[in-house]
């Protein structure tokens, strides 16, 4: 089983049998404070201090080498986790305004988990095909330089995940200038679900009907 915790903005910790993955370790620039974390693999989707707080991360094993940090496109096998990293952009102009972005797909616990990072545009057919078989989608929804509710819902429709976990939206702790959860859930035709402190997930939990899970910001 995989355990998901959210630390605000784009930062998730995914603990699985194979390894512990930390995405975009959040910095105070976003309004969130990341407690010290342990991880085997750290992914950076966009070169910004708010996404690369590596000072807060150490190895899962005392005295071991630092976590493996992935910063760009390619195919990797790290600590038993197969990672596909795909070049995308932070805006509709192929990065001319806000730069590049990397989408990461992790194969763990018999599931494909896709973290869209700071994606700021709809997916091309080629990009969507490269992200096939996504079971769990971590998607930015708040606008302000990333997908807004409408575009995020379009990407969900393109990829067809079984479970969606929103990120990068307004919360009491941070990202207050962004939109909240309601517009995105409305675009999907779903009610905003109650938040959960963590999500523990098995591949068998992924049903045929799309579900949204909302995680509270961990402290």
**Whole-prediction pTM:** 0.95
* Contact call for residues 103 and 116 (beta carbons, < 8 A): yes
Q: Which residue has the tokens 């702790």?
A: 173
Each residue of 196-208: pLDDT tens digit? 999 999 999 998 8
Does the pLDDT of residue 59 top 90, yes or no? no
Report d(CA 155, CA 157) in Å as an integer: 5
Tell me the backbone φ, ψ of residue 204, rounded to 5 degrees. -70, -15
Nearest 5°: phi and psi at 211? -130, 145
pLDDT tens digit string along 153-185?
999 999 999 999 999 999 999 999 999 999 999
Output the pLDDT for position 185.
97
User: How many other CB atoms are found less than 10 A from the CB of residue 65?
Assistant: 7
Helical (H) or strand (E) element with 20: strand 20-23
pLDDT per residue as tens digits for the range 16-31: 999 999 999 998 878 8
Neighbours of 66 (CB within 10 A): 11
């Amino acid at each position: 089983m995989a355990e998901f915790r959210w630390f605000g903005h784009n930062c998730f910790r995914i603990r699985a049998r194979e390894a512990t993955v930390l995405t975009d370790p959040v910095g105070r620039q976003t309004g969130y404070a990341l407690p010290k974390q342990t991880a085997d693999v750290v992914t950076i989707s966009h070169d910004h201090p708010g996404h690369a707080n590596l000072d807060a991360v150490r190895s899962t094993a005392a005295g071991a080498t630092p976590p493996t940090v992935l910063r760009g496109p390619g195919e990797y096998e790290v600590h038993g986790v197969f990672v596909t990293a795909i070049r995308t952009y932070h805006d509709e102009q192929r990065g001319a305004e806000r730069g590049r972005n990397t989408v990461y797909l992790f194969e763990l616990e018999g599931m494909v988990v896709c973290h869209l990072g700071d994606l700021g545009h709809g997916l091309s057919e080629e990009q969507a095909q490269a992200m096939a078989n996504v079971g769990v989608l971590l998607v930015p929804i708040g606008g302000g330089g990333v997908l807004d509710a409408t575009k995020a819902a379009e990407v969900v429709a393109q990829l067809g995940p079984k479970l969606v976990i929103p990120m990068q939206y307004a919360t009491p702790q941070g990202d207050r200038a962004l939109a909240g959860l309601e517009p995105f859930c409305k675009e999907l035709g779903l009610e905003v679900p109650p938040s959960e402190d963590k999500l523990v997930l098995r591949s068998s939990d992924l049903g045929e009907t799309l579900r949204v899970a909302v995680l509270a910001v961990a402290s």
